[in-house]
Chain A
């Protein structure tokens, strides 16, 4: 890391862009409110009764978050909070819109609103109490233990819809620990790699143009690989294992600057994926569905086919909110895994591209934060968090649209699911914290008694 590369650090007196954030937040609140009214008009020919409450609620959440960012992270990135607010608001509208279909079961929007509030509360807690992201570095190995515990926990709980990714707590409901583990494991990787990166990068042998790591340095990567395979086998969760392994490879590559890790990672994940896909029946079904999306199953149209029809029927501009038939997808998935199908059908290609670009923007602002960060831990953590976000968006959206086999993960912020929305708000909070530290102007040098003399020398 050289100082000349940190181009986003500008001179003293740089604007902190808080007013930009405020202006963007106004749109981020207004757009979902309009969408909400739109759904009501389309479905019941009237502006929904809860419009004011919803608007004020979302506005308040955004306002409180904004004020706290202004106070506790004044130099933080101005785009992330508005994007997260907009996606969360749109997600609420889409879930509420699907709640209007009796065939899809109980209403989920009120719950999701509650979880969103909890999420924003966690965002605020992180903002207020995490004064410096480097504090997290102290908890490297505790993070490892917690992350492992979270990842392994679902094995002891019953499978839901074929995947063991849930833990059920009586009285509270079910939790998807993988969402939290995503953040915590990024903390562990960042802390671990910061310490070990020199050993991993320099102590290596050159074989056929590639730097191969020493056996003992290879240990950890093999452990992570085995772990993600185990998640895949025991929890039959393709998405999470792909996410963790991909996350690790990305962070390893950034830490060591060695391309050989990528080659290694790709080979290992390919081998693992093929091995599991050909043996595990649950994964096999997913692959079959991916290869033949429109094929009938026992004479009935599959969920995969239904979601594809939803996308196709959306066309360029969509049917308009509330006027599509994504309910045909049926089941619980239409509000979570398949929520993008509703976006595609009702907002059309244009709306879907806009939503994907919002994710792209959020991811790239995270990457920019990593570039701007001045400490290696912050860099690694930022790239880990935003890289994880990127992988998750790719795996979910790619799965639903048929680019890759479908996996059981949820679209960050958009899809219904408490764990996901809470964890992602925390993720954004940490990214904002890192970006605040990165963009904060360097403190002006203390006045020195030698200053004047030095100046005289310079003037000559």
Chain B
């Protein structure tokens, strides 16, 4: 009887061995995946088990925390001026996850980042509660306030950049929402969350229009076309006459391209064409430069690529396969051309920075709980869409737009301001309210401290190009003044 007994003993040993192998599989091989599964509530519990680190603007936290009772979650996120900062901070909600900086830098803020391992170990040894690190942003509180107040009840977005570094100074989007209202796990939070849903609020307040909405850029795109014209050598002297008929018949078609209003665009110089925003001149220039030249220049400015700032910004679009007439239309910001407000701010900043486009970023540095710096963002160059000479030519043209052209509303006494208005039509037969655009920069003796792009969605019914100057330019002016500290 002992032979089968030994076999049974071995069999039972194998059963236990199978269990040991299985638990190793579950608790070692699968552990990471299970620990971080979206449905594993421990993820959320740990996120809110200690006070979250703060998001800091100008040395002051725009976030905070409060203790909550009666649920698994110990701490709840609070926000100061939540609606104004929502496009930057996003939300950290016990029930609804994290977005924007709260999401991208979640591990730093909760203190679970690997770079905080040393701090955690020390905390563990000294019995201190785990702490989250802080995220120090590049934003400028005054500029942000100017942008947010300027947009007011209107629907739109503002992005301001420091052209020399790419640092984001302002990023506003309206209508906005207060992330404090959905930070918890209560019925009120749920009600607020449901109300934010696009189905219940067509204005979609939780959409970050500055980064995640692309608009037809309209005439502001003429800056890119002008840059392409200068870079390609099609235009060398901005004050020389061009060969531009009015109306201009789109190549390969019989469709005439017209100008808005009664403006003198026939054979206009590049400077005049930009000042008056001549569709005919820039449409023909775009077609003359051709698809490849336009695509190359647009992509040098950052089109057709997502930007991580480090929050993801949608890619702006300039089609890479088009017929010549479509190129002509795209070159004046129509057809399929679409840009985020961030993208248009990048265009202005590259021109203002003498042709060098800097990578936009909104996190200056990550700070450990003990205030030592974990990582710092160094400004990096993204591309060189223009030579310095051509950039300066374009600057002088943009300054003309503000001093004598459609952008007069952005004039700031004692400061050189360059800008470009735009009114983008959309909808079937252009029947929807147009988007009013304004992109600009301010220039001092030390270079340009700020470039800004403003888009207002429900522009007035006035289809004249002037509406960009009327609605959007004052907001841009206020933001520039805030940065200039005027």
Chain A residues at the B interface, C-beta cutoff of 8 Å: 1-2, 5-6, 250, 253-255, 257, 294, 296, 301, 305, 308-309, 311-316, 325, 328, 344, 348-349, 352-353, 356-357, 359-360, 363-364, 367-368, 370-371, 376, 379-380, 383, 386-387, 390-391, 393-394, 397-398, 401-403
Residues in chain B near residue A359, CB distance under 8 A = 16
Does chain A have a CB within 8 A of B255?
Answer: no
Q: Which of B5-13, B238-246, B391-399 contacts A (4 or more CB under 8 A)?
A: B5-13
Q: Is the CB of A363 within 8 A of B19?
A: no
Residues in chain B near residue A387, CB distance under 8 A = 8, 12
What separation, in Å, do the CA atoms of A359 and B2 have in the docked complex?
A: 22
Q: Is the CB of B42 within 8 A of A254?
A: no
Given the interface pairs A328-B41, A357-B16, the reply to whether A313 lies near B35 with Cβ below 8 Å is: yes
What separation, in Å, do the CA atoms of A5 and B15 have in the docked complex?
A: 25
Does chain A have a CB within 8 A of B413?
Answer: no
Does chain A have a CB within 8 A of B23?
Answer: yes
- If over half of B's interface residues share one DSSP class (helix, strand or loop), that class is named, otherwise mixed; here it is helix
Residues in chain B near residue A301, CB distance under 8 A = 39, 41
Residues in chain A near residue B30, CB distance under 8 A = 312
What separation, in Å, do the CA atoms of A349 and B32 have in the docked complex?
A: 13
Q: Interface extent on B, as a size class?
A: 35 or more
Per CB-CB distance, the 10 closest pairs between chain A and chain B, nearest first, are A312-B34, A360-B16, A367-B9, A390-B12, A349-B27, A309-B40, A394-B15, A5-B2, A403-B22, A254-B4
Does chain A have a CB within 8 A of B374?
Answer: no
Chain B residues at the A interface, C-beta cutoff of 8 Å: 1-9, 11-13, 15-16, 18-20, 22-24, 26-28, 30-35, 37, 39-42, 45, 72
Q: Is the CB of A394 within 8 A of B19?
A: yes
What separation, in Å, do the CA atoms of A390 and B13 have in the docked complex?
A: 9
Residues in chain A near residue B8, CB distance under 8 A = 250, 253-254, 367, 383, 387
Report which of B13, B37, B72 forms a contact with A294, defined as CB distance below 8 A: B37
Q: Is the CB of B26 within 8 A of A360?
A: no
Given the interface pairs A325-B41, A398-B19, the reply to whether A308 lies near B26 with Cβ below 8 Å is: yes
Q: In the complex, how many angstroms separate the beta carbon of A165 from the nearest chain B beta carbon?
A: 22
Closest B-chain residue to A1, C-beta based? B1
Closest B-chain residue to A252, C-beta based? B4
Residues in chain A near residue B24, CB distance under 8 A = 349, 353
Q: Is the CB of B16 within 8 A of A363?
A: yes
- If over half of A's interface residues share one DSSP class (helix, strand or loop), that class is named, otherwise mixed; here it is helix
Q: In the complex, how many angstroms separate the beta carbon of A210 from the nearest chain B beta carbon?
A: 15
Q: Is the CB of A401 within 8 A of B22?
A: yes
Q: Is the CB of A349 within 8 A of B28?
A: yes
Q: Is the CB of B23 within 8 A of A352?
A: yes
Report which of A250, A380, A386, A401 forms a contact with B19, defined as CB distance below 8 A: A401
What separation, in Å, do the CA atoms of A309 and B34 have in the docked complex?
A: 5
Q: Is the CB of B2 within 8 A of A398?
A: no
Given the interface pairs A296-B39, A325-B41, the reply to whether A311 lies near B5 with Cβ below 8 Å is: no
Interface centre among A255, A371, A376, A380 (most CB of B within 10 A): A371
Q: Is the CB of A371 within 8 A of B4?
A: no
Q: Is the CB of A364 within 8 A of B27?
A: no
Report which of B12, B23, B28, B45 forms a contact with A386, defined as CB distance below 8 A: B12
Q: Is the CB of A401 within 8 A of B15?
A: no
Q: Is the CB of A309 within 8 A of B15?
A: no
What separation, in Å, do the CA atoms of A380 and B5 have in the docked complex?
A: 9
What separation, in Å, do the CA atoms of A402 and B34 have in the docked complex?
A: 13
28 residue pairs bridging A and B, Cβ less than 8 Å apart: A250-B8, A250-B11, A255-B1, A257-B1, A294-B37, A308-B34, A309-B37, A309-B41, A311-B26, A311-B27, A312-B27, A312-B30, A312-B33, A312-B37, A344-B27, A349-B27, A356-B20, A359-B16, A367-B5, A367-B12, A368-B9, A371-B6, A371-B9, A383-B8, A386-B12, A390-B12, A398-B22, A402-B26
